[in-house]
């Protein structure tokens, strides 16, 4: 079965890079909306050309789901369903940033939807049977997807970027959920690590440290690592902790940089000197590592069944 790549409206150029790296045919679905705001999901080629490229072949749709999570996901469902109606033999969704991954359980005192389950079911309903995701917030919820899942690790590429820049590195995971990321990151940097136990106030979203590790960071160049930075509250709290413990410098690294609500300013005022991330989300102010090569490698390996857990 031949493979064709579609750079979706939220592809961030990753689809183009993958097609070029794997020498695959590329189709583009540019970002377009009707005057009333509905998505105008189109492919920049004529119908007959699209049909002949897609029919009986594997279609790899690359679509990251941030910013404008709901719109990007909806475009992805529409594109996948359209590919199915054109006779695609297999539909693979590459979602560099999987939105709603943090809504993976019912939270205490809150009658919330487990939204990530719905997102995964919607992908299946649209005909997607193979899924590639970069550094998902939660691995176990991916089992809700009925098909093959491949997880792309961002830790190696980020650690390689930072390696050598931190003279006396120490890795700090800013919450318990990030300790395995911290452990693996410290392995790449060949240094020690520790993790903080944090709690987020369910009402105002403020982050407080519950249990801090007993460490001296005197003279250390601390690298705070997490899967994502959103408001920056978690990393800012960890950075202040690191300086209290004597850190010489602090940088932060995460696969996904959402950077909402003045997050850069928050990190800067907490003394974070540099923010490293990947291009799963468009960035202007961070040091960006291109994750396309790792995704291309994952696509090459696709075909074996089951969730791949890189940690």
Q: 165, 176, 184, 198: which is the annotated catalytic residue?
A: 198
In the complex, least distance from residue 107 CB atom to ligand R5P, rounded to whole angstroms: 12
In the complex, least distance from residue 138 CB atom to ligand R5P, rounded to whole angstroms: 9
Distances (CA, A) of 187 to 33, 128, 138, 192, 232: 46, 35, 21, 8, 25
268 catalytic? Reply is: no
List residues near ligand R5P by CB under 6 A.
102, 137, 175, 177-178, 207, 226-234
Q: Is 161 exposed, middle or buried (0-12, 13-18, 19+ CB in 10 A)?
A: middle
Q: Which is nearer to ligand R5P, 51 or 201 (CB)?
A: 201
Q: Is 158 exposed, middle or buried (0-12, 13-18, 19+ CB in 10 A)?
A: buried
In the complex, least distance from residue 139 CB atom to ligand R5P, rounded to whole angstroms: 12
Q: Which is nearer to ligand R5P, 117 or 138 (CB)?
A: 138
| Count of residues making up the chain | 311
Q: Which is nearer to ligand R5P, 73 or 196 (CB)?
A: 196
For 52, list phi and psi in degrees, rounded to 5. -70, -30
Task: Let me know the angle formed at the C-alpha of 64 by 132 and 81, rounded to the nearest 5 degrees.
Answer: 75
Written as six digits, the tokens of 190 are 């060949």
Q: Which is nearer to ligand R5P, 64 or 234 (CB)?
A: 234
Q: Which is nearer to ligand R5P, 232 or 277 (CB)?
A: 232
In the complex, least distance from residue 136 CB atom to ligand R5P, rounded to whole angstroms: 11
In the complex, least distance from residue 43 CB atom to ligand R5P, rounded to whole angstroms: 34
Written as six digits, the tokens of 255 are 């696969």
**Residue partners of 82: CB distance under 8 A and separation at least 6:** 41
The catalytic site residues sit at: 198
């Amino acid at each position: 079965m031949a493979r064709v790549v579609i750079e979706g409206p939220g592809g961030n150029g990753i689809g183009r890079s993958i097609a070029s790296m794997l020498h695959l045919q590329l189709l583009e679905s540019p970002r377009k909306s009707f005057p009333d705001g509905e998505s105008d999901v189109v492919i920049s080629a004529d119908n007959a050309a699209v049909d002949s490229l897609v029919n009986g072949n594997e279609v790899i749709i690359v679509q990251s789901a941030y910013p404008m999570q709901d719109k990007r996901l909806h475009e992805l469902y529409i594109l996948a369903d359209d590919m199915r109606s054109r006779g695609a033999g297999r539909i693979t969704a590459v979602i560099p940033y999987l939105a709603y991954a943090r809504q993976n359980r019912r939270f205490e005192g809150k009658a919330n939807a487990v939204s990530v389950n719905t997102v995964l079911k919607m992908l299946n309903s649209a005909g997607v049977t193979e899924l590639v995701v970069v550094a998902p917030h939660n691995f176990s919820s991916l089992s809700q997807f009925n098909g093959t899942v491949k997880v792309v690790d961002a830790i190696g590429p980020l650690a390689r970027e930072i390696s050598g820049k931190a003279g006396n590195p120490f890795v700090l995971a800013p919450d318990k959920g990030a300790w395995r990321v911290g452990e693996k990151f410290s392995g790449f940097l060949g240094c020690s690590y520790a993790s903080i136990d944090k709690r987020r106030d369910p009402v105002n979203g403020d982050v407080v440290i519950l249990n801090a590790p007993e460490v001296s960071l005197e003279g250390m160049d601390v690298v705070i690592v997490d899967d994502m930075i959103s408001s920056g509250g978690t990393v800012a709290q960890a950075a202040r902790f690191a300086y209290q413990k004597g850190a010489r410098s602090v940088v932060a690294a995460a696969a996904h940089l959402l950077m909402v609500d003045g997050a850069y300013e928050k990190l800067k005022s907490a003394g974070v000197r540099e923010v490293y991330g990947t291009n799963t989300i468009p960035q202007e102010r961070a040091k960006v590592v291109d994750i396309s090569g790792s995704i291309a490698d994952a696509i090459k390996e696709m075909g074996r069944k089951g969730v791949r857990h890189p940690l």
